[in-house]
Structure 1
Amino acid sequence: MTTQFIAVAQAAVADGRITAEELLSLRREGWGDGIMTRAEAEALFAVNNALNERTPEWCDFFVEAIGEFVLNGTPPRLQCSLEEAEWLIGQIDHDGVVESMVELETMVRILERAENTPDRLKNYVLDVVEREVLTGSGPTRCGGALAATHISAAECRIIRRVIFASGGHGPAAVTRWDAEMLFRLKDATLAEENAAEWDDLFIDGVANFLKGFVLPNAQVSHDRKRELEAFVADSSVNVGRFMGRVAREAPQVMNHFGRVFGKKQSGGTDFEALAAAGEVVTDYESEWLEKMVAADGEVDELESRLIARLASDD
């Protein structure tokens, strides 16, 4: 952390604006040592809370800088731990609300960039969006009509990005929690003029939950990645020498490798079988879908289209 960085941030807080020169100074000082510290990140939150106007340039910098701290401030890289997620949520939710679109975008970009994030962060973002839809107020409604139970195009884009984010439950994997949230929004907005993107989002999301599949251990945990990085960094374990020996002995070991990697082994992962199994709607999933459809006592148009999609995929 540099004294200059904090001085620039404090000046911006004092007058409620940040100039292009100050923004350039923050960028230089913040990455001068290649590390964004927690104190610097918290200073940026203080600036963001104080600004009278958040320019596109500021928003781009803020999203980049906070994401850099959360994902790369401490090893392992591209991982968001539960502690880091709680810190981020605490900074954003200090007064009980998400005040600006840039804060929401920051969390969404972290989910998209990360190799893994705790469910706490993903669920928090979706809770924020659901609350905005039901109340008609929040950062996604800035500049628009405050109509409760209305799903905007901005909200559709955020929901799609979050439920299919690489840092969620699994790459492009929609969870039951996500699918039930989509049903709640659908039931609450049936009579409203929702964004054109909503219908496809609802059908794509629920169909993915019912017919998608998640690879075992698709997400490497925070602790496991630390172990792997420690192994690679361990000077007593010469990975390069081992791989070099494998290359030199390739003719002798190729047959062994072929037997290991060229055929499916009992107890191994059969990815084709997993994909095929994922395509089948199980009895449990059928019962879940029937319960969700029957919740309001009728089959609406979106539910009919969802059922038709599932049938056509068989």
Structure 2
Amino acid sequence: MTTHFTELAKRAAADGQVSTAELLALRQQGWGDGIITREEAEALFAVNDVLTDRDEEWCDFFVEAIGEYVLNGTEPRLQCSEAEAQWLIDRIDHDGVVENLVELETIVRIVERAQNTPVRLKDYVLAQVEREVLTGIGPTRCGGALCATHIASAECRIIRRVIFASGGHGPAAVSRFDAEMLFRLKDETLAEENAPEWDDLFLDGVSNYLKGFTLQNAQLDHDRALELQAFIADSKPNVARFMGRVAKEVPNAANHFGKVFGRKNAGPSFAERAEAGAEITDHEQEWLEKMIDADGEVDELERRLLARIIEEG
């Protein structure tokens, strides 16, 4: 199946475009055995590299197929390993930049769909978008036609999708890296007319980081997910061992088990834990002061951020 698929891909790439019939044949061959292999994924990248026109049908297929290989090519499903993330970055970044929007969309969709992705993959996407904003050149920039420091709607949408993605730092959890990137973009574009979405993106992202959601929603890494999957697949699981390991991995699990088995929950409620997580710590306050002082002034967006923090307690 793989050999036939690769030959089809080579023929489709020969003239720099993929016809409807060729795309249908690639779909049939690619999904015929239910998986996309490394060789097939490499063949699709080779096609995408030489296309002169990437229409919507091709983009949808490419994003879907590469995502299937990265997330479901190996167990556990919907997990992206360090090796897979590095392969994807190397394949896209072979000349130092993301060449086209379909490649950028491919990574964004993987981060969105995944239960877990390495930090380097998410940070790579954000670094590409930041570069586009500061240079005015890149897949979202129509060849640099826009002002070099103008944050466009397309970039706002990509940043929001990535920093709040389930496969990022955690579901709806903004990391310090994300928050500092938002501050850098704000400082560089204060005098520019940015997209209407930018203000809310900055405020939502930084306030999310300061609330400490990253600690509450931290994800399992790829190796730990593999270990847990193997444990669950054990044909003779030991219930006591299972309960002990879960309690060790998730300290609050005892409270949930207590509800199930009728024991009184003596721990703090979810609301109480959330309220505690939302408090701004001394460390976070010091970080915020440093970020606000970076450009020597308190600008309008920073005033609105401080007002939101005070309003939300």
- TM-score, L = length of structure 2: 0.90
Partner SS state of residue 58, structure 2: helix
Two-structure CA RMSD over aligned residues (Å): 2.1
Matches within 5 A, 1:113-124: 113-124=113-124
Partner SS state of residue 140, structure 2: helix
Letter in 2 for 1:154: A
1:67 maps to 2:71: no
Over the matched positions of the two proteins, sequence identity in percent amounts to: 70
Q: Which has the larger radius of gyration?
A: 1
How many residue pairs end up in the alignment? 297
Which residue of the partner structure matches residue 258 of structure 1? 262
1:50 maps to 2:54: no
Contact 2:137-2:143 at 8 Å conserved across structures: no
Matches within 5 A, 1:139-150: 139-142=139-142, 145-150=145-150
Which residue of the partner structure matches residue 227 of structure 2? 227
Which residue of the partner structure matches residue 281 of structure 2? 282
The change in CA–CA distance for 1:208 and 1:255 in structure 2 (over 3 A counts) is closer
Question: Structure 1: how far apart are the matches of 2:232 and 2:221?
Answer: 17
Which residue of the partner structure matches residue 89 of structure 2? 89
Q: Displacement of 1:215 after TM fit?
A: 5.1
Question: Structure 2: how far apart are the matches of 1:155 and 1:36?
Answer: 30
Which residue of the partner structure matches residue 130 of structure 1? 130
- Unmatched 5+ residue regions in structure 1? 243-252
Question: Structure 1: how far apart are the matches of 2:224 and 2:33?
Answer: 28
Contact 2:117-2:167 at 8 Å conserved across structures: yes
Question: Structure 2: how far apart are the matches of 1:175 and 1:256?
Answer: 33
Which residue of the partner structure matches residue 271 of structure 1? 270
Matches within 5 A, 1:1-314: 1-142=1-142, 145-214=145-214, 218-237=218-237, 257-259=261-263, 262-265=264-267, 271-314=270-313
Q: Displacement of 1:193 after TM fit?
A: 1.1
Deviations 1:119-171 (A, max 9, x none): 00000000000000000000011277231111000000000000000001111
- Unmatched 5+ residue regions in structure 2? 243-256
The change in CA–CA distance for 1:214 and 1:258 in structure 2 (over 3 A counts) is farther
Deviations 1:28-68 (A, max 9, x none): 11111111100000000000011000000000000000000
Partner SS state of residue 104, structure 2: helix
Question: Structure 2: how far apart are the matches of 1:298 and 1:27?
Answer: 55
Q: Displacement of 1:232 after TM fit?
A: 2.8
Question: Structure 1: how far apart are the matches of 2:293 and 2:99?
Answer: 37
Letter in 1 for 2:94: H
Deviations 1:201-223 (A, max 9, x none): 00111011112423557312212
Greater mean deviation of Cα atoms: 27-36 or 65-74: 27-36
Question: Structure 1: how far apart are the matches of 2:214 and 2:55?
Answer: 39
Question: Structure 2: how far apart are the matches of 1:237 and 1:77?
Answer: 22
The change in CA–CA distance for 1:135 and 1:256 in structure 2 (over 3 A counts) is closer
Q: Displacement of 1:286 after TM fit?
A: 1.1
- TM-score, L = length of structure 1: 0.90
Q: Displacement of 1:228 after TM fit?
A: 2.2
The change in CA–CA distance for 1:217 and 1:138 in structure 2 (over 3 A counts) is closer
Contact 2:78-2:115 at 8 Å conserved across structures: yes
Question: Structure 1: how far apart are the matches of 2:181 and 2:262?
Answer: 46
Contact 1:160-1:201 at 8 Å conserved across structures: yes
Letter in 1 for 2:285: S
Contact 2:175-2:214 at 8 Å conserved across structures: no
Letter in 2 for 1:296: D
